[in-house]
Amino acid sequence: VTPSASFIDDLGADSLDQVELVMALEEAFGLEIADEDTEKIVAVQNAIDYVVAHVKISR
């Protein structure tokens, strides 16, 4: 798995897998990912970038 790996093309995910991935990200990081944003999470790096941009770090 590399940052540029596409969930569908490189990792063999289907649309249900993508929904489950988004749900897992939401649960793991306490996020609510909008539908329009889920369409943009197509590769590993997209998921990383989204989480980094939206997770609030408590200090």
Residue type, position 44, single letter:
V
- Asked whether the beta carbons of 46 and 40 are under 8 A apart, the reply is yes
C-alpha to C-alpha distances, 36 to 6, 16, 41, 50, nearest whole angstrom: 18, 16, 10, 12
Catalytic residue among 9, 10, 14, 17: 14
Q: Is 10 a catalytic residue?
A: no
- Residues classed as catalytic: 14
